Structure formats: structure tokens, C-alpha cells
């Protein structure tokens, strides 16, 4: 009876998710096209299988893609980063910068380390990252690890270090590049939602991915969009929770970026935004999926080594077991 109830609930959740899928059109701010038909039976049961697998932790381990063990140096680096990313039980400005660096290295080209290796950190769009770039540069010199890998490992570590943060699977073995990626691609805090949806779609991200990634602002601070306004984007900037969504929606955040407000109000992203305000578990799951995708932009996955075990906590299974059972369904 219990398993049957789970299957029925999963089926309902799958149908609801399908009913809310969108087709992005040229007029993204005003048009939403609903799908013309529902999932086929095979897709429904495939989705249920994935959901039940999530309940049981199937596929959530740290088996390396190449069959190799994670090099011990990453555990040593992890210990160093913990000292920098956590203070008085809260994540630090260094952790915030590390999370931001993942996006800034990957989104304008590929996750190739050019943020540091090509001195993209000196660009105005990367203001506030210079100290982190210098620090990670020193770590790379002392350990010999790849810079592209180090940036993504540091971001995943910072997310996990923030109290309440989920585990982002992290792999190493990317190719580094000292060729600068194009400037001017990273969106500003004043961007409109329609432009953001189009931009992220061009990189392979759905509106749900966009809304989920935006939640990283729960631990973020703004310093340049409105220098005369509060830096915090929610009232609990030192912890990883979903108050960013509810406070942005209600107008109770210390400060809200115009771009965040636009996403919260756009019909295409409003549903996931509101869902994440109600359920941290739903947000965590969507965020892990989107952030994993972000960390692999322009990366050949063949031969990469899984180093998730080197992060604090070390396994996504623990996240799944500790979450509310009704939060474990895919959005």
C-alpha cells in the first residue's frame, strides 16, 4: 500500500510537471505555449523509475567516470577551503566569491579556468573576485591541480560549506585554457527576464534551471548594482535556505536586484520561483541539476574523475536521506 501510494503521488507529480512545461518563443515575456500532448506511458514510468531511484539513493554515489580514485590532493585542498569558507557557523565572503566564480568562468565560454589563467578577473564584470582569483592561483601553484577543476571544486565546496547547502557532484580532469573568453556575455543585475531566459536557453538551460540557479543569491551580496543599498539579497545571507525566494517575492528582502524581481514576476519563471519559495527540497534538487550542468559547459566528460567524496559530507546520498520525503520528487 505504501509503495502504491508513492507511485500514485509520483505519477501525479510527473503529470503536473509535464503540464507546466513551456515552449520558449521569440516573445518570451508575453507568450507561453503549453505542450500539445502529455507524456507517453513509457516516459511516465521512466520518470517514476528515476524518482524511486532518487528515494533509494540509486545512482547517487561517487563512482568515478574513468574508474579512477579521486587523487588525495583534493581532500587536502578541501581542508584548506573549509577554513576560508566557514566562520562562526556561517559561510563567508570567500565562499560567496567561490560560488560566483563557477558561473563567471563557465558561462561566457567554457569551464576552462580562463577566469584566472587569462586574468579575466580584472574585468569590470568580475569585480569582487580578484581576491579569490589570487587565492586559488596560489592553491593551484602549490598543488599542481587544474585551474578549471579547482574553480568548480571550490564552488561546490562553498555551497556545501554554507549551512544547509546541498552536495554538487564534482569531477576533475578538465582542460585548462589561458585564452580569454569573450567579455560582455555575463548578465547584469538590471537585465530583464525575457533577455535572461533567452540567454540561458542559448546555453542549454531551461526556465526552471534559471530560476533554480538564481537561488544562489540566498548567500550572495551585491556591491556594484546599487552601492548605496544593502548588500544582502535575503535576511539570512550566511546560510543556504530558500528565504531568497519568499523575500524577493514579498518585497521583504534587504535588497532585490531588478533582474531577480523580473524573473520572479515573469509568467515563464514564476511557477518554479514560487515552488522554490515553498519547498527548499524542490529547490535543492533543481539547483543541483542546474549547477552540475553549469560546471560542465564546454567540457568533455570522458575520462573525468569523480571527486565528490572530497567535499565536506562527501555524498549526495546523505542529502537525499535527510530531506523531507515529499521534497524528493523532481520538479
Annotated binding site: 105, 112, 114, 217-218, 234, 236, 241
The per-residue pLDDT string of the chain (331 residues; one tens digit each, 9 = 90 and over) reads 443 333 333 333 433 343 344 333 333 333 333 333 333 333 333 333 343 333 333 333 344 455 689 999 999 999 999 999 999 999 999 999 999 999 999 999 999 999 999 999 999 999 999 999 999 999 999 999 999 999 999 999 999 999 999 999 999 999 999 999 999 999 999 999 999 999 999 999 999 999 999 999 999 988 777 788 888 989 999 999 999 999 999 999 999 999 999 999 999 999 999 999 999 999 999 999 999 999 999 999 999 999 999 999 854 444 444 444 445 445 4
Residues annotated in a binding site for heme b: 217
Q: Which of 18, 68, 22, 27 is nearest to 48 (CA)?
A: 18
Q: Can you say which residues are annotated as belonging to the binding site for Ca(2+)?
A: 105, 112, 114, 218, 234, 236, 241
Q: Kindly tell me the sign of the dihedral angle through the C-alpha atoms of 170, 174, 178, 183.
A: negative
Q: What are phi and psi of 35, to 5 degrees?
A: -60, 150
Q: Tell me the C-alpha distance between 16 and 2, whole Å.
A: 21
| Residue 161, SS3 per DSSP | helix
**Rounded-to-integer distance, Cα 26 and Cα 29, Å:** 9
- pTM score: 0.77
Beta carbons of 314 and 62 less than 8 angstroms apart: yes
CA distance 241 to 162: 9
Pick the catalytic residue: 60, 86, 98, 104? 104
Active site residue 190: no
Amino acid at each position: 500500500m505504501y509503495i502504491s501510494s508513492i507511485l500514485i503521488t509520483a505519477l501525479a507529480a510527473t503529470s503536473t510537471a509535464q503540464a507546466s512545461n513551456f515552449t520558449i518563443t521569440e516573445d518570451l515575456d508575453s507568450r507561453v505555449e503549453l505542450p500539445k500532448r502529455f507524456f507517453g506511458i513509457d516516459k511516465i514510468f521512466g520518470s517514476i523509475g528515476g524518482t524511486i531511484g532518487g528515494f533509494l539513493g540509486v545512482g547517487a554515489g561517487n563512482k568515478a567516470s574513468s574508474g579512477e580514485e579521486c587523487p588525495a590532493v583534493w581532500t587536502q585542498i578541501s581542508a584548506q577551503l573549509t577554513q576560508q569558507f566557514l566562520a562562526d557557523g556561517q559561510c563567508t565572503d570567500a565562499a560567496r566569491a567561490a560560488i560566483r566564480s563557477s558561473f563567471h568562468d563557465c558561462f561566457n565560454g567554457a569551464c576552462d579556468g580562463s577566469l584566472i589563467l587569462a586574468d579575466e578577473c580584472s574585468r569590470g564584470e568580475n569585480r569582487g573576485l580578484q581576491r579569490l582569483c589570487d587565492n586559488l592561483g596560489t592553491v593551484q601553484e602549490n598543488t599542481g591541480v587544474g585551474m578549471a577543476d579547482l574553480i568548480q571544486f571550490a564552488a561546490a565546496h562553498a555551497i556545501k560549506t554554507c549551512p544547509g547547502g546541498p552536495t554538487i557532484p564534482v569531477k576533475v580532469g578538465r582542460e585548462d585554457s589561458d585564452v580569454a573568453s569573450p567579455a560582455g556575455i555575463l548578465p547584469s543585475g538590471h537585465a530583464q527576464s525575457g533577455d535572461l531566459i533567452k540567454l540561458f536557453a542559448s546555453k542549454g538551460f531551461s526556465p526552471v534551471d534559471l530560476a533554480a540557479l538564481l537561488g544562489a543569491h540566498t548567500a550572495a551580496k551585491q556591491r556594484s548594482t546599487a552601492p548605496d543599498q544593502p548588500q544582502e539579497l535575503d535576511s539570512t545571507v550566511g546560510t543556504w535556505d530558500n528565504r531568497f525566494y519568499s523575500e524577493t517575492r514579498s518585497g521583504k528582502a534587504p535588497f532585490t536586484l531588478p533582474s531577480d524581481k523580473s524573473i520572479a514576476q515573469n509568467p515563464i519563471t514564476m511557477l518554479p520561483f514560487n515552488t522554490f519559495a515553498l519547498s527548499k527540497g524542490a529547490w535543492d534538487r533543481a539547483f543541483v541539476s542546474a549547477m552540475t550542468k553549469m560546471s560542465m559547459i564546454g567540457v568533455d566528460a570522458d575520462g573525468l574523475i569523480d571527486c565528490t567524496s572530497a567535499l565536506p559530507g562527501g555524498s549526495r546520498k546523505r542529502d537525499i536521506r535527510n530531506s523531507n520525503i515529499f521534497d524528493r520528487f523532481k520538479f
